[in-house]
């Protein structure tokens, strides 16, 4: 089960953030390694466009993960990218508590993530549910997403 | 009074740096939250374009602030953006000492920030003064800025 | 009245698209020129980060406008930026028809832009209305925006 | 069959290039529309990070396609994104001739694209073949890709 | 002699703009090709970070040049990059008239480019002169650049 | 001797990472400072495009270096850029062990960097050797790079 789909009750933790600069790797290979890292349990992986010396356009890869997975994630980066070194740090996090409800829209059932922190509350339709319905029924993703927001208005 | 317009005598401090990745928020909403955070006393707010999983273009928001404002700034991010978690760290800073002088140009008075650190000295025309004069007199911003540099040459 | 707030009935037109690469201008000056160009009637102005020769990070400015305003917009760019040349082209456009309705939410009245093209219809809450209400009532922009979508569901 | 996997003999054609600026759409929704456009036969779809007025980070979507698909692609953009208008132009292209060969590596068979134009020749291992082998055999993508280059050296 | 250092009297011309998307090339190789294209007479070469399908960070290369050099520049791109096709268009340009003067500063002689268009006039210190002086005398580039602006104030 | 060309036997160290946001500096000046910092012994320098308040496109400079060089590198940034403060942190690193071998290709001798970490091994042709051969013999950089990979296949 992915982190973003788990019920979360604590509101504080610590994570590892791992980075490497890549100027001798192709974009194709980077799409591949993002998938590898997500499959290995990384909380998140993202790319930032950077500009390195000698007129080189390059990509910074950033991986967020559980501290106990740090070595595993570093090894994947060293194996699957052209970098010969990675840097990392621990970061603190504040996270909202999360639970899930289902709502019924004209188009079908959609899961709603309800996130709370103090008196802040947010209701976020699950991307995958909206995307699957939109695809199957040939309506626009925006329409499905908005119908989920409408259906979720009386949830609490 | 904004940080960038204060007289500063110390040359070291520590700040908090708060980040969140946003792939389910619109650019319109992000322009709004930048303003909210600046109004709440953030030292600086900036956006970095990033690329997240599932072919999603996204935006990383970074907020720099006083450590005593950390919780306040985190709460604004949680309230005003779609993120359900933020990460943060403390960073060390080296800052130049700053004082202000006024110079008179052909176009009007302009405040000059004089920043020093050891034997490094920089004279920086205040943006807002240059912009207002340029706008009011319908001359180019560059011309006004350059006239301020010329007028400031004998300041010390 | 800005283009984005006009009632539009035609669905085709032609516009000018003007570009310049800037590696010897500051970000401060570029924020200033964006405002100048919008005030002069540009349909849109945007910046793209680019990487130029000799390890220079730079900014490409793009201005969209009415073909009859082309020379005016070019002159502003030449006057207000460091570039010594601009390039331009005409582009074709397909635009949706637009009209406006007001809806009443728990938080106040909000204008809705209704855009149609063939059987596609979109209802888009006006940014400025949402932002002003959110600011005045100290609720989050997202909440106001979502309440406008809920209130607009039965419009047509 | 995708364009990039077709045998190509001509070296000139004309394509349509369609663009829209998006500041009121989420990254999640944009990942969805990229897939939709590729499925509908677009030659290529890509995102460019841009910066719009009012401090809004935004995304420019660009779609390349066959001129006969222009209206179809425009309609998908209008239906699936928040934009209310798109701009387009025709571009000329010079393309290399392409044919395909298979090579046998220590890890398995890999298709090689051989592209020629005048006296320029390039041998490019197919991404999907390399990725599948790397994944199945748990070796790095780079290793497989390099083994394909080694195996292809005597092809012509 | 490079375009940016020539005396220019006309204020209109037409150029070619050539583009290719690169997701299977390294940043190292791209720094190399930029140099090749500049040496071959391109007016300008720049890179834009883009995001392609399958989670691939990529780079768009753009080359501006004389229309008579179009085929030469296209061939260099096909030879030196991994792309198997390029797209191009002609763009119109408005350029400022340019001439050069020398000024004497406390640090040495610096060439000033004087660009004019109608009643717009800009004085731009030559980068290379400022950089060489700054490097040789171990003063900051900004100081040298500002001293050139001060020395150029009475030029016309 | 540059870091990337040294034989490395340890696989862990700690470095300093220094950053500053620049919205009142030109791209020209930034290309200059990158060179200065590399000459002063920085491990790496890179630029990230960011978006600051008041519609300003800006550049974040990041410098990686030996902790004992921290103050020296900070002073160069303060002297050579428009910023009036920098922030810094220490990061941990995992680095691969490195040694060098020469291989003979059809085009000439090329140095190969062999990087190892546990059972991961990578062979990386030296950019500068490939670039010089490609330039001198007028063959494409990619061809030379691939010939180095082919020649290196039996190294260990
Ligand atoms: Ni390298
Ligand atoms: Ni801590
Ligand atoms: Ni999400
Ligand atoms: Ni510390
Ligand atoms: Ni220049
Ligand atoms: Ni036409
Ligand atoms: Ni809008
Ligand atoms: Ni490919
Ligand atoms: Ni044509
Ligand atoms: Ni024309
Ligand atoms: Ni400033
Ligand atoms: Ni530590």
DSSP state of F106: T
* CA D69/CA D72 separation, integer angstroms: 5
Out of A5-9, C80-84, D60-64, give the one with best mean pLDDT: D60-64
- A 10 A CB-CB count for D103 gives 20
Q: What is the pLDDT of residues A8-22, one digit of tens each?
A: 777 889 999 999 999
Q: How far apart are CA B99 and CA B1, in angstroms?
A: 14
Tell me the pLDDT band of F6, cut-offs 50, 70 and 90: confident
Q: What is the pLDDT of residue D155?
A: 81
Which of B48, B52, B55 is the best mutation test for E, with the most CBs of E within 10 A? B55
Q: How confident is the model at residue C1 (pLDDT cuts 50, 70, 90)?
A: low
Q: What is the pLDDT of residues E116-156, one digit of tens each?
A: 999 999 999 999 999 999 999 999 999 999 999 999 988 87
Contact B85, A94 (CB under 8 A): yes
Q: Is F48 in contact with A51 (Cβ distance < 8 A)?
A: yes
On the CB side of D39, CA atoms within 13 Å amount to 8
Binning pLDDT at 50, 70 and 90, where does residue F139 land?
Answer: very high
Q: Are D28 and B24 in contact (CB under 8 A)?
A: yes
Tokens of A151: 């259906």
Residue A41 in this model has a pLDDT that exceeds 70:
yes
d(CA E47, CA E63): 9
How many other C-beta atoms lie within 10 A of the C-beta of residue A23?
A: 24
Task: Take residue A49 and report the two structure tokens written for it.
Answer: 């466009």
* Residue A49 in contact with partner chain E when CB distance is under 8 A: yes
Taking the Cβ of residue F24 and every Cβ of chain B, the question of whether any pair is shorter than 8 Å is answered with: yes
Instruction: Report the separation in Å between the CA atom of E84 and the middle of ligand 8, taken as the mean of its atom positions.
Output: 9
* pLDDT digit string, tens, across residues E1-55: 666 777 777 788 999 999 999 998 999 999 999 999 999 999 999 999 999 999 9
**pLDDT beyond 90 at A32:** yes
Q: Do F57 and C59 touch (CB under 8 A)?
A: yes
Determine which of B5-14, C54-63, C139-148, D58-67 has the lowest per-residue pLDDT on average: B5-14
Are D96 and E79 an interchain contact pair (Cβ–Cβ within 8 Å)?
no
For residue range F8-21, list pLDDT tens digits in order: 777 889 999 999 99
Kindly compute the dihedral angle of the four CA atoms of residues D94, D100, D101, D103, in this order, to the nearest 10 degrees: 80
Q: What percent of chain F has pLDDT over 90?
A: 88
| Interatomic CA distance for residues E148 and E131, integer angstroms | 12
Is the Cα torsion angle E137, E139, E144, E145 positive or negative in sign? positive
Average pLDDT of the residues in B15-29? 96
Over range E108-116, report the average pLDDT.
Answer: 96
Interface test with D, best of C66, C90, C94, C100 (most D CBs within 10 A): C94
Tell me: the pLDDT tens digits for C48-84? 999 999 999 999 999 999 999 999 999 999 999 999 9
Percent of chain D exceeding pLDDT 90 equals: 88
The single-letter DSSP state of residue E126 is -
Given A22, A28, A82, which is nearest E56 (Cβ)?
A28
Q: Give the chain B residue nearest C82 (alpha carbons).
A: B142
Query: Nearest CB to F28: which of C24, C27, C35?
Result: C24
Q: State the Cα–Cα distance between residues E103 and F153, nearest whole angstrom.
A: 58
Helices C27-39 + C70-80 axis angle, to 10:
160
How many Å apart are CA B145 and CA D35, to the nearest integer? 48
The three-point CA angle C8-C115-B27 to 5° equals: 105
- For each of the domains in chain E, give its residue range(s) and CATH number, in order of start: 11-94 (3.30.70.1380), 97-151 (no CATH)
B57 vs E51, E122, E153: nearest CB? E51
DSSP H or E run through B104: strand B97-105
**Residue E133 Cα, ligand 5 centroid: separation in angstroms?**
16
Q: Which of B49, B53, B79 sits opposite A120 (nearest CB)?
A: B79
- Which strands form C108-117's sheet, in the order they lie side by side? C97-105, C108-117, C120-125
| Burial class of residue C139, CB neighbours in 10 A (0-12, 13-18, 19+) | middle
If 0-12 CB within 10 Å is exposed, 13-18 middle and 19+ buried, where does residue F114 land? Answer: middle
Rounded Cα distance between D38 and A51, Å, is 29
Mean pLDDT rounded to a whole number for chain A: 94
Q: Is the pLDDT of residue C6 over 90?
A: no
Q: What is the DSSP letter of B3?
A: G
Measured CA to CA, the distance from residue F34 to residue F43 in angstroms comes to 11
The whole-number pLDDT of residue D1 equals 60
Ligand with smallest separation from the Cα of A91: 2
Q: What whole-number distance in Å separates Cα of residue C27 and Cα of residue A31?
A: 32
CA distance E110 to D23: 44
Interface check C84 vs F, CB under 8 A: no
The mean per-residue pLDDT over the stretch D77-103 comes to 95
F80 φ/ψ sector (left φ>0, alpha ψ -120 to 50, else beta): alpha
What sign does the CA torsion over D52, D58, D64, D70 have? negative
Of the candidates C135, C130, C155, C132, the one whose C-alpha atom is nearest the C-alpha of residue C145 is C130
Using a CB-CB cut-off of 8 Å, the residues of chain D touching E49 are 48-49
pLDDT band at F155 (very low <50, low <70, confident <90, very high): confident
The pLDDT, as a whole number, for residue C7 is: 74
Helix (H, G, I), strand (E, B), or coil: what is residue C66?
coil
Residue B103 pLDDT greater than 70, yes or no: yes
Q: Work out the pLDDT band at C10, boundaries 50, 70, 90.
A: confident
Mean of pLDDT values over D71-84: 96
Q: Which helix (H) or strand (E) holds D129?
A: helix D127-137
Residues C2 and C66: their CA atoms lie apart, in Å, by: 12
Q: Which chain D residue has its CA at the smallest distance from E21's CA? A: D46
pLDDT band at F7; cut points 50, 70, 90: confident
| Closest residue in A to F39 (Cα–Cα) | A53
What ipTM does this complex have?
0.95
Mean of all residue pLDDT scores within chain B: 94
- Return the ∠ at Cα F127 (arms to F126 and F128), rounded to 5°: 95
């Amino acid at each position: 089960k992915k982190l973003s789909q788990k019920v979360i009750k604590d509101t504080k933790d610590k994570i590892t953030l791992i980075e490497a600069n890549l100027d001798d790797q192709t974009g194709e290979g980077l799409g591949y390694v993002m998938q590898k890292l997500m499959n290995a349990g990384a909380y998140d992986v993202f790319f930032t466009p950077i500009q390195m010396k000698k007129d080189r356009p390059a990509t910074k890869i950033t991986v967020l993960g559980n501290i106990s997975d740090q070595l595993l994630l570093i090894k994947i980066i060293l194996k699957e990218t052209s970098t010969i070194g990675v840097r990392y740090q621990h970061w603190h996090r504040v996270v909202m508590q999360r639970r899930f409800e289902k709502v019924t829209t004209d188009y079908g059932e959609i899961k709603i993530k309800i996130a709370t922190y103090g008196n802040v509350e947010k209701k976020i339709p699950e991307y995958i549910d909206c995307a699957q319905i939109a695809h199957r029924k040939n309506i626009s993703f925006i329409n499905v997403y908005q119908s989920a927001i409408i259906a979720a208005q009386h949830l609490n």
